[in-house]
Structure 1
Amino acid sequence: MKVIRTDALSQFERIGLIHYTKIQVGHSPQMLRGRLRLFQEQLFFELEDVDLQETSFANFQPSTFYDVLQNIQKENWYSLTNSAEDINLLYALQFGCPVHLVKNLQTKYVLEERALQQPLAEQVDETTTEAIQLFYFSSKLNEEECQQRLDAARQFFFQIHGGKSKAHLLYANQTVEV
């Protein structure tokens, strides 16, 4: 499969991509459930008396990630779905950026502006054995910091789902074969 990044996402200097194969998705373990709830509550208190328009999160508007932040600000907690979707939401909250998990791998996947409007996890369920995960990193992070986050995400995902993975950093107008 080819992943193609267009320059329509130029506000993100780097987009991290992790390609997972041979994974097993199931119920979230207690440790993941606890972390996810903790990060939602922490964000709620950080955003309690703040106008999201006046934060760095405004850079992600419009996006489903921005919608998630608005819901958390209103104490609308996200309930558990499955281990893959839950860990994906955890990464978005922990890293403070949109993170998308996509099951339906096609021969060509184009990263463009409308990608930010997609759900944070698309059609991921217990039958998922292969997926790509996309991290829309802030331009404040350097290449080493982005790579460190990708490595940490891969390791944690592996602990829960097993399988194999490979990470890439995508720059404007770059194509990667996964």
Structure 2
Amino acid sequence: MEITVQDELKQLIPDFKVGIVHYQNIQVGNSPQMLKGRLQLFQESLFFDYEDKKVTEIPAITEWREVFKTIGTDPNRYRPSNEALYRRVQKQHFLHPVNSAVDLNNFLSLQYCIPLGIYDLDKLSGEVKIKIGSEEDSYIAINEREIQLTKKLVSADSESAFGSPYVDSKRSAVSNSTKNALHIVYLQPSMQHSEADQLLQALSNMFTQIHGGTASYQIV
């Protein structure tokens, strides 16, 4: 599957880049106790670390808020998903288990403090473009709400938009029947290529350790 970044987006943010991981022949199910435990302990640790701090002062969150502003999204109204996760933890609204893929995705987003999206690859078709959403772009999100994606960062296949570092669609959600998946890692624009490569290698290795299968990754 070919992944491209819209020219308009590259013009606004010259250093914009995403990490793309393709997983094949994976097995998604209930999270192993090891993952549940690590996710819970990490959230508790973050709560104490940021109890009296502003999450908007975390460099990675600050940078993603600037990305949102640059493309026309108000980050005070539509928060990047990494910021939304940290705010939940700060309020002790800890994440409940969903499935192994979603739980690991959330753990990695908290660990690296960047937005990530995990999608069922077999529910997507054609090429995928990372772009700035138009008035025609919308979808039913995983929270069951219809989301208008004008001036928001979105991922779209040949059918329609399916993902965003704001909130993802229900159409492309990973489930226990998922066998092949697409991971979109919304890297900080300031991140060096070598650092991004190490992150993707570590992230994909952790994913296949839990889910089996194979992984291949690239930076776009």
Contiguous gaps of at least 5 residues in structure 2: 66-78, 132-152, 155-163
The 2-side partners of 1:77 and 1:67 are apart by 12
Q: What is the CA-CA distance between 1:118 and the residue it aligns to?
A: 2.5
TM normalised by structure 1 equals 0.86
CA displacement 1:56-96 (0-9 Å, x = unmatched): 21333432222111111111000111111111111101111
**Matched-pair contact (CA < 8 Å) for 1:98–1:120:** no
Counterpart for residue 158 of structure 2: none
TM normalised by structure 2 equals 0.71
The 5 A counterparts of 1:111-122 are 111-112=130-131, 113-114=153-154, 115-119=164-168, 122=172
The total of aligned residue pairs comes to 170
Give the secondary-structure state (helix, strand or coil) at the position aligned to 2:125.
coil
**AA in 1 matched with 2:130:** L
Give the secondary-structure state (helix, strand or coil) at the position aligned to 2:165.
helix
Q: Which structure has greater helix proportion? A: 1
Alignment RMSD (CA, Å): 2.0
**Matched-pair contact (CA < 8 Å) for 1:102–1:132:** yes
The 2-side partners of 1:31 and 1:120 are apart by 28
The 2-side partners of 1:51 and 1:142 are apart by 26
Residue 36, structure 1, aligned to residue 36, structure 2 = no
The 2-side partners of 1:21 and 1:3 are apart by 17
Range with bigger deviation, 18-27 or 48-57 = 48-57
Counterpart for residue 105 of structure 1: 124
Of all paired residues, the percent bearing the same amino acid is 30
**Matched-pair contact (CA < 8 Å) for 2:81–2:166:** yes
Say if 1:140 and 1:4 are closer, same or farther in 2 by CA, change over 3 A: closer
Q: What is the CA-CA distance between 1:141 and the residue it aligns to?
A: 2.6
Counterpart for residue 66 of structure 1: 83
CA displacement 1:126-149 (0-9 Å, x = unmatched): 110111111112234311111111
Instruction: State the structure with bigger RCO (CA 8 A, min sep 6), 1 or 2.
Output: 1
The 1-side partners of 2:51 and 2:4 are apart by 38
- Pick one of 7, 12, 22 that aligns with 1:19: 22
The 1-side partners of 2:50 and 2:14 are apart by 23
The 2-side partners of 1:168 and 1:76 are apart by 34
Question: Which structure: larger Rg?
Answer: 2
**Matched-pair contact (CA < 8 Å) for 1:63–1:116:** yes
Q: What is the CA-CA distance between 1:150 and the residue it aligns to?
A: 0.8
The 5 A counterparts of 1:142-161 are 142-161=192-211
Counterpart for residue 84 of structure 1: 101
Range with bigger deviation, 80-89 or 35-44 = 35-44
The 1-side partners of 2:168 and 2:196 are apart by 22
